[in-house]
Structure 1
Amino acid sequence: MSRRWRLALLVAAGAVGVLLLAAVIGVYWLLQPDRFTATLQAQARAAGLDLSLASPARPALFPHPALELQGITLNESGASMPILLAARGRLALPWHTLFGGPTTIARLEIDAPRVDLDALQSWLGHLPSSEGNRVPQIPRIDTGILISRASVVRGNDILLDNLALETGQLHPDKPFSLDLTARDASGDPVQLRLLATPRASGEGMSFENIDLHLSHGADTTLDLRGSAHWHGAADASADLAGSVDLADAGRYDLSLRLTPANLRDPLLLTLHLAGPGRNADVRLPPLQLANWWSQLSDAEGGQLVMPPGSGHLDVDHAAFGGVSAEGLSLDLGEGIPAAAGSAPAPASSSAP
């Protein structure tokens, strides 16, 4: 090879190297990790949350432009107990976002997150005062969410482990799918499949054509269909109906209705169950019920009290540990706490 050709090849190689370096610097500049990190933290603050990272976000080029997040911590603002801890995350970003378009996420991946239900419940309980009249919007995710090796805990107790979750794209007016698998504290498998169509409006978000399938071990299967709406804070509603199959008892018709909080009542879940040997018509405040349930598992929780709610239950046969009962009939009173930040509800003078 002549000296002229060798020189030409060196010049060409140098030019390619410069172009590659310029491309790397350009994409790094377009990704602007500080800008996207600040955007995520601002969105978290708007929801009453604090988002922190163990180290600054790092840009990645392959296989798609993305931000690598290390040591993710998500807290309710002013609280010390984290709602979520995760080893790492990855935000894949579409090219139009990099060139100044709307801030959207192509794909969200989170590895080994730990979600604490007590902390989550505390944040949800403060939503009426922290969210005010903000109208929630559906985030756009082009290709879905992937969560692996997750756990759900309450304090030091593991409720779900080895949880894996994957969703399809999240766009208004397009079908959305969610698949979840996990193991409970006893090692029994839990599977959930959700199909729905999200819709957005000036009043909030809704989910139409909900088709939910849940199974727990080999004994329990739940199928529900319906719709749900969320206008912000505790202004949520839902109508779902279907059935639940219990291997040791049979099939039951089940309907669930969620009504939003107001000045008198908190968020309320009305449940109707009808089937062989068991019937129930009850109204339960989900957030207060979760707090009551957590107190049951607290060894130092003190005196056992009835769960919050109202309604009636009839059970032909019930067993609790080593104690069994026949022909059990139970009336729940009207002792439902008022919604957070609202005026107390007037006392009721009549039984259900």
Structure 2
Amino acid sequence: MNRRLRIGLYAAGGMIVVFVLAAFIATYVVLQPERFTALLQSRARAAGLDLALASPASPTLWPKPALELEGLTLRAEGAGTPMIVASRGKLVLPWRTLTGGGTRISRLEIEGARIDLNAVSAYLDTLPSRPSTAGAILPTIDAGFRVSRGTLTRGNQLFLSNVDIDAGRLANGRPFNLSLAASTAGDSPYTLDLETTPSLAHGVLTLNDLALEVTSKPTFSTTLRGDATWRGGADVGASLAGSMTRTSGTPYDIVLDVTPANQQDPLYIAIKLDGDNDHANLRIPPIAFAEWWGRINAGGSPTLPPLLGTVDAKAVDAGPVHVKGLRIRATPSVPAAAASSANARPSVSP
């Protein structure tokens, strides 16, 4: 090896060492973990929340500039039960942060999170209510976020396990995507994928080019496309259409419409299903449905959910129960429970 080549290699190696040292200095000095930790905690305080860490944040450079967080606890101010407890997290930062760029977080990642829905609900109840006449809003999420290996609980009761949520930045006029995967207490896996472009103008939020896919492999897969609008309060409208494929039967064509509440009628969700042997045309009031579901979960006597419309099904499979020849006729003058008991002729076998 000649002298010039050796000098060139030494120079290249020295430049690499200088670059690596500069990167480490930038990581520990320029990133200043305490300022990003303070930023995160100040944002939490502004929302009436208290964020605590088990240990100070530690910076890292690979594969992107980030701050590693250990032992996150998020609770409402003055509350005893945490809303979120996570084993670790990460604040991913833009590369320009190394050159003294602004304090900005490009992505938040949380691993091993336990989310208590009761604590979340209690926190939401403390927020000031908006007037029913107020227009729609779009909560802006500056950074995308990811929750992996999470669990959802209601107090000490498991609600969902293996929760994985991945969402991009949420902003007016910007394409937004959300993916959610989870398993129920019975270990049934479900996935939900949503894509849309939200647009907020003059108090009206429009979800353009809305695509929604709900899957439970290998049982079924449902895909819907359309648009939705929100003008504030219960003034919600949507028109979606698609199909459902099933491993245990022929596919369904689906039409879903949401009609806003008015002075005479509550908010309704209209669902129309058409298959070779099964047909349904139902209108469901979601608020009344939620109240019915709450009574069932509280141990109330089993009743059919509040609904209007018709169901004609050759066979219905729900877990260990098989129902043949199900017919339901529900009108405003005849409640669903009464109509089903008078018209349904099911045979049930375990």
* Fold agreement, TM-score > 0.5: yes
In structure 2, how many angstroms separate the alpha carbons of the residues matched to 1:279 and 1:225? 21
Q: Is the 8 A contact 1:196 1:211 kept in 2?
A: yes
1:350 maps to which residue? none
Q: Is the 8 A contact 1:249 1:276 kept in 2?
A: no
Deviation at 1:66, TM superposition (A): 4.0
Deviation at 1:135, TM superposition (A): 2.7
Q: Structure 1's 207 and 275: CA in aligned 2 closer, same or farther, altered over 3 A?
A: same
Deviation at 1:37, TM superposition (A): 1.3
Q: Is the 8 A contact 2:190 2:214 kept in 1?
A: yes
In structure 2, how many angstroms separate the alpha carbons of the residues matched to 1:104 and 1:335? 58
1:36-70 C-alpha deviation (Å, 9 max, x unpaired):
3112331x34xxxx444355873635342547363
2:137 maps to which residue? 135
Q: Structure 1's 89 and 130: CA in aligned 2 closer, same or farther, altered over 3 A?
A: farther
2:258 maps to which residue? 258
1:60 maps to which residue? 59
Q: Is the 8 A contact 1:57 1:70 kept in 2?
A: no
Q: Is the 8 A contact 2:268 2:285 kept in 1?
A: yes
Letter in 1 for 2:142: R
Asked if 1:193 is matched to 2:197, the reply is no
Letter in 2 for 1:324: V
Q: Structure 1's 152 and 22: CA in aligned 2 closer, same or farther, altered over 3 A?
A: closer
Higher relative contact order by CA 8 Å / sep ≥ 6: 1 or 2? 1
Q: Structure 1's 292 and 251: CA in aligned 2 closer, same or farther, altered over 3 A?
A: same
Deviation at 1:21, TM superposition (A): 6.8
Letter in 2 for 1:249: G
The alignment partner of 1:136 has SS state of coil
The alignment partner of 1:72 has SS state of strand
| Map 1:134-213 → 2, pairs under 5 A | 135-141=137-143, 144-203=144-203, 205-213=205-213
1:34 maps to which residue? 38
The alignment partner of 1:140 has SS state of coil
1:91 maps to which residue? 91
Deviation at 1:220, TM superposition (A): 0.8
Letter in 2 for 1:289: F
Q: How many residues align?
A: 310
Letter in 1 for 2:40: F
Asked if 1:73 is matched to 2:74, the reply is yes
Asked if 1:329 is matched to 2:323, the reply is no
In structure 2, how many angstroms separate the alpha carbons of the residues matched to 1:190 and 1:19? 43
Q: Root-mean-square deviation (CA), in Å? A: 4.2
In structure 1, how many angstroms separate the alpha carbons of the residues matched to 2:265 and 2:54? 44
Deviation at 1:161, TM superposition (A): 1.9
In structure 1, how many angstroms separate the alpha carbons of the residues matched to 2:43 and 2:35? 12
Asked if 1:317 is matched to 2:319, the reply is no
Gaps of 5+ in 2: 1-19, 336-350
Deviation at 1:156, TM superposition (A): 4.4
Q: Is the 8 A contact 2:137 2:200 kept in 1?
A: no
The percent identity for this pair of structures is 29
Q: Structure 1's 68 and 155: CA in aligned 2 closer, same or farther, altered over 3 A?
A: closer
**TM-score, normalisation: structure 1:** 0.68
Asked if 1:249 is matched to 2:249, the reply is yes
Q: Is the 8 A contact 1:285 1:308 kept in 2?
A: yes
Q: Structure 1's 281 and 22: CA in aligned 2 closer, same or farther, altered over 3 A?
A: closer
Q: Is the 8 A contact 1:191 1:214 kept in 2?
A: yes
In structure 1, how many angstroms separate the alpha carbons of the residues matched to 2:68 and 2:114? 21
Deviation at 1:87, TM superposition (A): 3.0
In structure 1, how many angstroms separate the alpha carbons of the residues matched to 2:214 and 2:36? 41
Deviation at 1:222, TM superposition (A): 0.3
The alignment partner of 2:32 has SS state of helix
Gaps of 5+ in 1: 1-15, 337-352
In structure 2, how many angstroms separate the alpha carbons of the residues matched to 1:290 and 1:240? 22
Q: Is the 8 A contact 1:116 1:155 kept in 2?
A: yes
Deviation at 1:251, TM superposition (A): 1.2
